[in-house]
Amino acid sequence: MSRLDLQKLTLLLALVAGLLTFGNSFFAGYSSQREQLFEQTLEANRAYARKLADTTDQFFLNSRRELAYAAEVLSTRFDDPAARDSETERLKLKSEQFSRAIIVSAAGEIVSASPESTDLVGLKVNSIGATRALKERIPQTSDPYIATDGTYLIAVTHPIFAPDGRYLGFISASLFLRERNALHGLLGVHYYRDGSYLYVVDTQGRLIFHEDGKRVGQNVSSNAVVRQVLSGQEGSQRVINTLGVDMLAGFAPMQSTGWGIIAQRPTAAITAKLEQLARTTLLNAVPFTLISLAVFWWLSILISRPIRALADTAEHWGAPEAASRISMVNSWYFEVSRLKVAMLAGVSLLQQKMGALEAASMTDPLTGLRNRRGLELALKQFDLLDQRYAAVTLDIDHFKQVNDQHGHDVGDAVLRFLAEIMKECSRPTDVLCRMGGEEFLMLLPETDASGAGIAAERLLARLRQTASPTGAPVTASIGIACSDRYASSDATFKAADEALYQAKRAGRDRVVLASA
Ligand SMILES: Nc1nc2c(ncn2[C@@H]2O[C@H](COP(=O)(O)OP(=O)(O)OP(=O)(O)O)[C@@H](O)[C@H]2O)c(=O)[nH]1
């Protein structure tokens, strides 16, 4: 598996951060919108239930007034069949509010009915509603009951009294609950087609009105909302309905009858709407997300590029061009510029140390002159530049005696002393080496035999004139050979050595030029 680099890492971090932020705000927005919608729906349903309760109350008030008027008319004409039929007819047909209108005598006999087709006239009433009306003799709106002819209804009744106070009977207008009735006109048109509906319960919690006509008559008093509205409360509540559906219900009681009106909307309808909204929001967010990703990607490249460039140079710190490669990195932000400065310092330190080590490996520790490795490097450079040189070999005379007479330390000091004299008597371009023991070699570039001879004589003269660490001057013998006369550097050195040997044999303290 490839290792994660900074660019991928920054991109990944940006992605994770972006997703978390987006997810967080998305879900926070979603939840708060849902709560808000729930509250709005609950309040709308409460207000709607209230409005319908008021409208329905008004309907029953008006109905009572109508009946009161009819009772007034009939108080003096109760015995007139035409008058009775005229009132039932008016109530049933002209108002078109009621399913049926009847007049019942004080003896409990139906004396007029509209529509006439019902053929009720002459029947004795025995239903709960009629019995109660006959007994209580007051205007009232009944709870639902099954009428004498088996119809499930509610009835608005008004007693009829003669002017002398004699009870004559009552007039009744009824709504057939299992048929289309005035309540449908008042309540039936609901505003949503998403499972929202409303229903009306009587004081016992039985359904008087429901969009599903088959449920009329069913007792739903176990419903928490029904219990509240029947206790006279108005309000709203999230509730699981009798069929197990999660609903947002608003409810209001009716003043005139004590019934309750409940308007409700399925919670799922709102959630579905919100989910649609969420999908749209997500889809709308796609282009923005893509643009953000592209920007993040571009930024991650910008941020990681200098770090990567620095990391690449780190693999080649030892290389001579490392410093210049690091310098070229575009350190456009603070951290990278700090890192770059630190790396440059590190590289320079490393190269110094490496240079020092390299120099040490080519230097004779006692004298500070080049050793054999140093000589080889110098020869390579001469070869590269095709440079000729004069090889000057030098050996201290009777050095053994120095050691013997003055001790090894003084011998060392004499070797250092000679090295200093060699440096003083040479040019910066001359290559000065200690070949081992008390043997030295000088390469004088672009110098011919006579030039080298003059330089060697000058050095010997200087030695003769200067007191060495022994307290007295030391002398040396020198052999010279010029490279242009020999096939190789080895041959040149060999020739110079032979010349030195001749100088020793000839009595030392002298210069001998190799005879090629
Ligand atoms: N103090 C000191 N002595 C060294 C060092 N290297 C070699 N020698 C001594 O140098 C002496 C070289 O002596 P020889 O090669 O016999 O020659 P010489 O005495 O210089 O005599 P000629 O060369 O013939 O003039 C030896 O005694 C070595 O011990 C060194 O690094 N320090």
Domains of the chain: 60-176 (3.30.450.20), 372-513 (3.30.70.270)
- For ligand 1, atom 6, name the residue with the nearest CA: 437
Which residue among 396, 398, 400 is best mutated to probe the pocket of ligand 1, counting the most ligand atoms within 8 A of its Cβ?
A: 400
pLDDT 10s digits, 408-450: 999 999 999 999 999 999 999 999 999 989 899 999 999 999 9
Preceding omega of 159 cis (within 30 degrees of 0): no
Please give the pLDDT value at position 285: 85
The ranges of the chain with pLDDT < 50 are: 1
Specify the ligand 1 atom closest to the Cα of 396.
Answer: 20
Please give the DSSP secondary-structure letter assigned to residue 130. Answer: H
Neighbours of 220 (CB within 10 A): 18
For 126, the enclosing helix (H) or strand (E) is none
Please give the pLDDT value at position 1: 39
Which SS3 state, helix, strand or coil, does residue 488 take?
Answer: coil
Taking CA atoms, 235 is separated from 29, 255, 258, 302, 317, in Å, by 27, 15, 15, 60, 80
Q: Residue 484: CB partners within 8 Å, gap ≥ 6?
A: 388
Around ligand 1, the residues with Cβ closer than 6 Å are 395-400, 403, 408, 411-412, 415, 437-438, 504, 508
User: Which burial class, exposed, middle or buried, applies to 190 when counting CB atoms under 10 A from its CB (0-12, 13-18, 19+)?
Assistant: middle
Q: How far apart are CA 418 and CA 439, in angstroms?
A: 11
pLDDT 10s digits, 364-375: 999 999 999 999
**The complex's ipTM?**
0.95
Which SS3 state, helix, strand or coil, does residue 150 take?
Answer: coil
Please give the DSSP secondary-structure letter assigned to residue 93. Answer: I
504 Cα–ligand 1 center, Å: 14
Please give the DSSP secondary-structure letter assigned to residue 483. Answer: G
Q: Which of 487, 495, 504 is nearest to 452 (CA)?
A: 495
477 Cα–ligand 1 center, Å: 13
pLDDT 10s digits, 277-297: 889 988 998 888 889 888 888
Q: Which of 394, 391, 389, 388 is nearest to 367 (CA)?
A: 394
397 Cα–ligand 1 center, Å: 9
501 Cα–ligand 1 center, Å: 15
Q: How far apart are CA 125 and CA 108, in angstroms?
A: 6
Q: For the chain, what's the residue count? A: 516
- For ligand 1, atom 14, name the residue with the nearest CA: 400
Which residue among 371, 402, 438 is best mutated to probe the pocket of ligand 1, counting the most ligand atoms within 8 A of its Cβ?
A: 438
Please give the pLDDT value at position 322: 85
- Whole-model pTM: value is 0.57
